[in-house]
Amino acid sequence: MIDDAPAPLGPMPGTGEFAQAIRSLSDRFAAEAAELDPDAPIASDAWPTVGGMVDHLGQIQRWCTEVLRTGAAVDRAEHVRPAERDRFAWFVEGSAALATELGTRDPAAGCWAFVPGGTNGFWARRQAHEARKHLWDIRTAVTPVPALPEAGGPEMAADIVDELYAVFLARAVRGGLPPLPTPLALVATDVSVSWRLATDWSVIRSVEAAADPVATVVQGRLGDIALFAWDRAAPEDLPERFAITGSSATVAAYRDAPVHP
């Protein structure tokens, strides 16, 4: 089974690349959110409006900054936006503080995290992917299923899938998941990378497409594969972007499993 540790499945970008992505993605997030109605609905059950998502990401970034500063667990509730603060000024201030804090920290140094062996570098990776996913989320106020936002090229797009499987799937497996009906392969069509999930949810990353004749295969561009992996795109609803062979029940079981935070 999957080890409960944040080890990469494939080559992982450097902490500096993650820190740069946090700055770029957070700047775009702030600029785009400011142009939208805060009450505009978005494709998120937990934070269903643009304004709610700004408050959420701002809280997460400020919380992470304090975790990095102290190296210890911190109460996330202490970092909710004060009602009197302008939402966007508060967000930009907190985003800048996170980037500054990451720039002062040794990425290899130990730091509290919600997985064993936490480091400062773990949080650079986590917050880069968090900002990217939530930038996608607010874009659903305008486009139902937008493309994955650009950040760091194919290596970082693949790493957002790796992080899901090496960190969050590991926790879900430990808590107990029903087996997949068939093995499942996620295959990128624009770059040479794929992921094969066995029925017990163990994962292998490869530069070749899976050759298992009993596997269900979902194919699409890497950005779209990442969206499916993170439960932000339903392949059966987007035939122009995905190709599916095999069991529709496996695709549904993957989507319905409590793996995607």
Q: Do 63 and 103 belong to one domain?
A: yes
Q: Do 49 and 90 belong to one domain?
A: yes
Query: Which domain-ending residue is among 121, 155, 189?
Result: 155
pLDDT by residue (tens digit) across 55-110?
999 999 999 999 999 999 999 999 999 999 999 999 999 999 999 999 899 999 99
Q: 243: which strand partners?
A: 219
Q: Do 93 and 183 belong to one domain?
A: no
- CATH no. for residue 223? 3.30.1050.10
User: Backbone phi, then psi, for 177, in 5-degree steps?
Assistant: -130, 140
Q: How confident is the model at residue 150 (pLDDT cuts 50, 70, 90)?
A: very high
- CATH no. for residue 43? 1.20.120.450
For residue 3, pLDDT over 70 is answered with: no
Q: What is the pLDDT of residue 218?
A: 96
For residue 209, pLDDT over 80 is answered with: no
> 27-31, 55-59, 94-98, 168-172: lowest mean pLDDT where?
168-172
Q: What is the pLDDT of residue 62?
A: 98
Query: Which domain-ending residue is among 122, 155, 188?
Result: 155
- Helix or strand holding residue 103 (H, E): helix 87-103
In a domain, 160, yes or no: no
Q: Do 204 and 136 belong to one domain?
A: no
Nearby residues of 109 by Cβ (< 8 Å), 6 or more positions away: 71, 119, 120
Q: Do 141 and 19 belong to one domain?
A: yes
Structural domain containing residue 228:
178-256
> 164-178, 184-198, 227-241: lowest mean pLDDT where?
164-178
Q: Do 242 and 150 belong to one domain?
A: no
Q: How many domains does the chain have?
A: 2
d(CA 87, CA 81): 7
Nearby residues of 243 by Cβ (< 8 Å), 6 or more positions away: 217, 218, 219, 220
The per-residue pLDDT of the chain, averaged, comes to 92
Q: What is the pLDDT of residue 99?
A: 92
Supply the pTM of this predicted model.
0.93
Q: What is the pLDDT of residue 210?
A: 60
In a domain, 1, yes or no: no
In a domain, 202, yes or no: yes
Can you tell me the mean pLDDT for 33-61? 97
